[in-house]
Chains A and B, each alone.
Chain A
Amino acid sequence: MPELARKDVLGLETMSRQEIELVLHTADSMREVLDRPITKVPALRGRTVLMMFYEPSTRTLASFNLACKNMSADTVSVSKSSSSLVKGESLRDTIQNLESMGADAVVMRHPSAGAPHYIARNIEGSVLNAGDGAHEHPTQGLLDLFTIEQHKGSLEGLKVAIVGDILHSRVARSNIWGLSTMGADVTICGPSTLIPPYVTEIGCTVTHDVREAVTDADVIYVLRIQLERQEGSMFPGAREYRRLFTIDAERISLASPDALLMHPGPMNRGVEITTDVADGAQSVILEQVPNGVAVRMALLYLLLGGGE
């Protein structure tokens, strides 16, 4: 049985091409399971997975929960509002208490980059990063690679444009790492105030001209734009954004005719992407969701072994 020779999945920066290929290949089998009338397999019966979400999440949490249920694993969910964090308990205490209940894996989303790394150092079970600060969101990155591969056969040499708020985006970072490891050419595009410094070192080129970014692209990956952030607005507003960056029918026509349109959700329709494009023929946004379940099933299977 193939296994990932690692305890944790914390980011795509440190995942090799072989490891990514193994995950995508396994996800392929999981996708077949999902297409059956009964999607439940007993692979992880008796295993317990903790869902620790210190930030709001709808689809990632639901996706991990579905993945666990499909694999017959038991899940326990801890969300910020119900957790001891509100009562001032330290992450160390929370984790040690929960681990002593016998979890085999922890799925963690946290506002601080590095929090899953801290947990991984302190527990024996596997840790799956479900998004840490603006650092990484590796399962999202893997499901995106999987979705692209399903349509394009291979990632090698593909031209991928990622458009939006790169600065605050863990999705962007995981995708850039994963795509460049798999041989794709990544161009990122967004307002200069939302592009992090030295980002080219991750393995991408930068442009602020959306037409240049999408021209001849095989994949257009649109990121959510948050209109108001705690630290105040970082660009002049929705109208200006539409003028310069929104992915619409006219801009998408510059891409390769069979270009895929992707978005990690949740979408701001009419801001970073127009509705006609989001729901159009090239959109694979709704495929990303079941693929997310398949990829997470694959990761849990590979990390937890499956055997008793």
Chain B
Amino acid sequence: MQRILIKNGQVVDPANERDGIYDVLLEQGQVAAISENISVDGAEIIDAEGCIVAPGFVDLHCHLREPGQEYKEDVASGTRAAIRGGFTSLVAMPNTEPAIDSEAAVRSMAEIISEKAAARVYPAGAITRGQKGRDLTEMGGMMQAGAVAFTDDGLPVTSSRVMQLALQYSDMLGVPISVHEEDPDLAGDGVVNRGRISTLLGLPAIPTAAESAMVARDLELCREFGGHLHIAHVSTRNSIDLIRKAKDEGLKVTCEVTPHHLTLTEDLVRESNYDTNTKVNPPLRTSTDVEALVNALSEGIVDVIATDHAPHSFDDKDKEYIFADFGISGLETAFSLLHDQLVLKGDITMNRLIAALTVVPATIFDLPGGTLSQGEPADLVILRPQDEWAVNPDDFVSGGKNTPLAGWSLTGRVDTVLVAGRIMMRDGELQC
């Protein structure tokens, strides 16, 4: 494979505590060298002056919808969307049709991935067969087939007993259990956060306790039965307080927050006059929650940012609010939104943002990449932090155009993306 030399970029590589102007040499699909003023013969030069050069982003939580719901998204469109967003590695949620709940299903998914994926995709397996919440899946066999984590995402593990067994069993295998924390009794038929906005809009409400009560339960189970508990899309201050305590105590717990929960509030549902693109689960919360999430991200209580990319067809969103599907198509706006709303406002450092998108997720799910260490895969992103662009969902390559950010002007853009040394996007134009 050809040599690529990325010149004069600001290299931000939190794993190696590197942040400065360097050249990056890629050879054979790997990072060959990083230092000042590299010059080699026969290398393709990419000028990155004024840009940030970082490891490719790693998303621990996205929905690629294949198999079964290809009309919303498939592995090809979802991974191209990932590339546009700077993501070079994705963990695909198993709530497909059928669910990824067997060794055969993981193998079949791996085959689809090898045929179609533009980015690295790691399947997550279901915790329970058919995601029915009753019987554990054959996690050992599924791991051998390539599953990197287990989750019934989209659905909570309602039974405390099943959750206990999942933690105990996964502890033996050394694999994380990722959980969608929602007490279905409390959430009921709710569609927005319970509070001021649900009252003003007259929409059925989801209390914050629907999440935090389940977080509390699972932390108790984790304390007694072990396992690596990874809490998906945390959205409330109360959940954060519980996780902080558990981490202080030394429990093996990690968590992720989405870009939308870090930047948007329930007020958007009202301001947008019931735009169903604001309908997401967990729901957009209050500014108090957003502030707690951002602080927790800054402190490292929140480990990673994951998109919970949930693409839907136009028709699945073009409905009455209570009938529309939950979810936001997030891959293509994640970095820009976070940079614009958090880094530029001084709430999060660029270094922390990149760490939460790269080395930390790669480490906690034990995935390759996430760093620019010599010998690591040449998965890499070049960012233009000053570039301003307007979000137009029609331009998304994802099948899901469902974003509440249509028309927003964001500062910070993903410019160039390489996977294993191959240029997948250059100057904002997809090459795949």
| Contact (A118, B196) CB under 8 Å given A90-B318, A92-B318 | no
A113 x B201 contact (CB < 8 A): yes
- Per the bound structure, the CA–CA distance linking A196 and B198 in Å amounts to 8
- Per the bound structure, the CA–CA distance linking A115 and B273 in Å amounts to 10
B188 x A113 contact (CB < 8 A): no
Name B202's contact: one of A92, A121, A133, A231 (CB within 8 Å).
A133
A114 x B321 contact (CB < 8 A): yes
A contact residues around B202 at 8 Å (CB):
113, 132-136, 170, 173
Name A198's contact: one of B188, B199, B321 (CB within 8 Å).
B199
B contact residues around A117 at 8 Å (CB):
273-274
Chain B residues 305-325 with CB under 8 Å of chain A are 315, 318-323
Chain B's closest residue to A113 (CB) is: B202
Q: Mark B183-207, 1 if CB is under 8 A from A, else 0.
A: 0000011000011101111111100
Name B188's contact: one of A114, A135, A231 (CB within 8 Å).
A231
B contact residues around A90 at 8 Å (CB):
315, 318-319
* A: number of interface residues (CB 8 Å): 28
- Per the bound structure, the CA–CA distance linking A112 and B198 in Å amounts to 12
B contact residues around A113 at 8 Å (CB):
201-203, 274, 321-322
> What is the CB-to-nearest-CB distance from B155 to chain A, in angstroms, rounded to a whole number?
19
- Per the bound structure, the CA–CA distance linking A87 and B425 in Å amounts to 45
B contact residues around A201 at 8 Å (CB):
196, 199-200
> What is the CB-to-nearest-CB distance from A14 to chain B, in angstroms, rounded to a whole number?
11
> What is the CB-to-nearest-CB distance from B264 to chain A, in angstroms, rounded to a whole number?
18
Chain A residues 75-115 with CB under 8 Å of chain B are 90-92, 110-115
- Per the bound structure, the CA–CA distance linking A185 and B93 in Å amounts to 52
Name the prevailing secondary structure of the B interface residues: loop
Chain A residues 111-139 with CB under 8 Å of chain B are 111-115, 117-118, 121, 132-136
* B: number of interface residues (CB 8 Å): 22
- Per the bound structure, the CA–CA distance linking A248 and B219 in Å amounts to 51
B203 x A198 contact (CB < 8 A): no
Q: Mark A160-173, 1 if CB is under 8 A from B, else 0.
A: 00000000001001
- Per the bound structure, the CA–CA distance linking A67 and B321 in Å amounts to 30
A contact residues around B198 at 8 Å (CB):
196-197
B199 x A114 contact (CB < 8 A): no
> What is the CB-to-nearest-CB distance from A200 to chain B, in angstroms, rounded to a whole number?
10
The answer to the question of A202 belonging to the interface, with a C-beta cut-off of 8 Å to chain B, is yes
A133 x B196 contact (CB < 8 A): no
> What is the CB-to-nearest-CB distance from A90 to chain B, in angstroms, rounded to a whole number?
7
A118 x B194 contact (CB < 8 A): no
A118 x B320 contact (CB < 8 A): yes
Chain B residues 269-324 with CB under 8 Å of chain A are 273-274, 315, 318-323
Q: Mark A184-203, 1 if CB is under 8 A from B, else 0.
A: 00000000000011110110
B contact residues around A231 at 8 Å (CB):
188-189
* Max count, chain A CB within 10 A of own CB: residue among B194, B198, B200, B203: B200
Listed in ascending order, the chain B residues whose CB lies under 8 Å from chain A are 188-189, 194-196, 198-205, 273-274, 315, 318-323
**In the complex, given contacts A90-B319, A114-B203, what are 10 additional A-B residue pairs having Cβ atoms less than 8 angstroms apart?**
A113-B322, A114-B274, A117-B274, A118-B321, A121-B273, A173-B202, A196-B199, A197-B196, A197-B199, A231-B188
Listed in ascending order, the chain A residues whose CB lies under 8 Å from chain B are 13, 90-92, 110-115, 117-118, 121, 132-136, 170, 173, 196-199, 201-202, 230-231
**A/B interface sample: 8 pairs, CB < 8 A:** A90-B318, A113-B274, A114-B274, A117-B274, A133-B203, A135-B201, A135-B203, A230-B189
